[in-house]
Amino acid sequence: MGEIRVAVLGASGWMGRVHSMAFQTFPHFFGTGGGTARIVALVDRDPARGAELALRVPGARILTDWREAVADPEVDLVDICLPDNLHHPVAKAALLAGKHVFCEKPLADTAAEARELADLARQRGLVTRVGHAFPRNPVHDLAKEIITSGEIGEVTLFKGCQHVDMFGDPMAPMMWRADGRLAPTGIVGDTGSHVFSFMEFLVGRVSSLVADNLIVTPRRPVVAGSVLGAEAVGGAGEWADVTNPDATHVMCRFENGAAGIADFSRVATGRKFRQGYEVYGTRGSILYDYDEVNRLRVYSGADPVGRRGYRAIDVGPEHPNYAAFLPLPNFALGYNETKIIEAAEVVRSVVTGVPAWPTFETGHHICQIVDAVMESSRRRAWVDIV
Ligand SMILES: NC(=O)c1ccc[n+]([C@@H]2O[C@H](COP(=O)([O-])OP(=O)(O)OC[C@H]3O[C@@H](n4cnc5c(N)ncnc54)[C@H](O)[C@@H]3O)[C@@H](O)[C@H]2O)c1
């Protein structure tokens, strides 16, 4: 099975468009040896998008009901780019229909749902993948390489953050992301899960945590004609309650003894997109800031006294996932390239049957962290993750 037949669900949305592009694009960079992808179905509930979708991917079936794509014997891989609350039911139906599944993050609304999906996939021998793409920028492979080699010693502290101001303006209109029925964990599953994916990738599993969730703006105006859930809503003067967290602070411990601090917010006024981490070890440290998307700052205690300080190291064509795109250093790989790397890895996994990080097992652990954050904030107490 060198050609994987893909159905993209939520095809008109942001991720639906990015995933479609990535499946169509990756062979130009990674070649065809790891398999190719053919998008055979595009699904979006909005029928008005059909004509445009058909032009984007000639020959693909254009559907409005995801169930049709899941039942289609022509589909090998179901790619879920739908709002969070649909991830579990759609992934479950796809796995039961014998499809490999690529699901956007967060894998599910609860760890119990994620566990069910990971178990189903294991029992049926199906390949899974969660869309935690940020750590797939090769700059983070470089960070992991430095950590794993022991260059910074034993990791003692991880600090991470992700801040945006999408809802910084109290008058920014309501959307599904702020509705607890459609995105039950709000910023925690939406954005926290990105920070948690870095924690998993670079440091290891989290074993306990304490967290504080905040709703900063409790009500938002509804814009006429906006779509929440299945129905169009809105009209002059209507307001909706924000029913999931806007911002969160977390303190945690990892299984390996390291400590962690993370915070994330969608109301960080002025921050258009801030993502970063600091990893401190017994012999050195690594700093990363998305504003310098391909650069690490690395401190090594092995440098001579009087010459110590942070060195800026850019990931370049020495790394295969960088070289796949660019033969020269400092041209920069951004967000969409990480999604292309991800699509290439997903297809290679389906072709070879060899899973690649992050699978539904990883997605489950990240959902356990999300659950623990929700519980800790509710109980105002530390929570163990078992
Ligand atoms: N990995 C990342 O970096 C990243 C970035 C953004 C979003 N996401 C995740 O991707 C998912 C989608 O987010 P988005 O920003 O693309 O949202 P979006 O609102 O832009 O797109 C969602 C699409 O799904 C369609 N849709 C909704 N319900 C449907 C249904 N029942 N049947 C068929 N189509 C339906 C909508 O019409 C829309 O086109 C979310 O789970 C989000 O958390 C991940």
Whole-model pTM: value is: 0.94
Whether residue 234 is predicted with pLDDT greater than 90 in this model: the reply is: no
The protein residue with its alpha carbon nearest to ligand 1, atom 22, reads: 13
Q: Which residue has the higher pLDDT, 226 or 386?
A: 386
The CA-CA-CA angle for residues 274, 209, 282, to 5°, reads 70
Query: How far apart, in whole angstroms, are the C-alpha atoms of residue 79 and residue 375?
Result: 30
Q: Which atom of ligand 1 is nearest to the CA of 82?
A: 24
Residue 231: phi and psi, rounded to 5, are -120, 145
131 lines ligand 1 (CB under 6 A): yes
Q: Please tell me the predicted confidence (pLDDT) of residue 176.
A: 85
The protein residue with its alpha carbon nearest to ligand 1, atom 7, reads: 15
Q: Which of 55-59, 164-168, 182-186 has the lowest mean pLDDT?
A: 182-186
- What tens digit of pLDDT does each residue of 2-50 get? 999 999 999 999 999 999 999 999 999 999 999 999 999 999 999 999 9
Percent of the chain at pLDDT exceeding 70: 97
Q: Which atom of ligand 1 is nearest to the CA of 18?
A: 16
Please give the distance, rounded to the nearest whole angstrom, from the Cα atom of residue 307 to the centre of ligand 1. Answer: 49
Rg (CA), the chain: 21
Q: How confident is the model at residue 232 (pLDDT cuts 50, 70, 90)?
A: low
Please give the distance, rounded to the nearest whole angstrom, from the Cα atom of residue 82 to the centre of ligand 1. Answer: 4
83 lines ligand 1 (CB under 6 A): yes
Phi-psi region of 44 (alpha: psi -120 to 50; beta: other; left: phi over 0): beta
Please give the distance, rounded to the nearest whole angstrom, from the Cα atom of residue 256 to the centre of ligand 1. Answer: 35
Please give the distance, rounded to the nearest whole angstrom, from the Cα atom of residue 81 to the centre of ligand 1. Answer: 5
In the numeric block, the tokens 């178990």 are attached to 119
66 lines ligand 1 (CB under 6 A): yes
The length of the chain in residues reads 386
82 lines ligand 1 (CB under 6 A): yes
Tell me which of 53, 62, 81, 196 to substitute to probe ligand 1's pocket, judged by most ligand atoms within 8 Å of the beta carbon.
81
Half-sphere exposure (Cβ direction) of 195: Cα atoms closer than 13 Å: 33
133 lines ligand 1 (CB under 6 A): yes
- The mean pLDDT of 355-361, rounded to a whole number, is 98
Q: Please tell me the predicted confidence (pLDDT) of residue 84.
A: 87
182 lines ligand 1 (CB under 6 A): no
Tell me which of 52, 80, 104, 137 to substitute to probe ligand 1's pocket, judged by most ligand atoms within 8 Å of the beta carbon.
104
Contacts of 28-31 with CB under 8 Å at 24 or more apart are 29/324, 29/325, 29/340, 29/344, 30/324, 30/340, 30/341, 30/344
**Which domains are seen in the chain, by residue range?**
3-133 (3.40.50.720), 135-331+364-384 (3.30.360.10)
16 lines ligand 1 (CB under 6 A): yes
Whether residue 295 is predicted with pLDDT greater than 60 in this model: the reply is: yes
Query: How far apart, in whole angstroms, are the C-alpha atoms of residue 329 and residue 130?
Result: 29
**For residue 142, what is the DSSP state?**
H
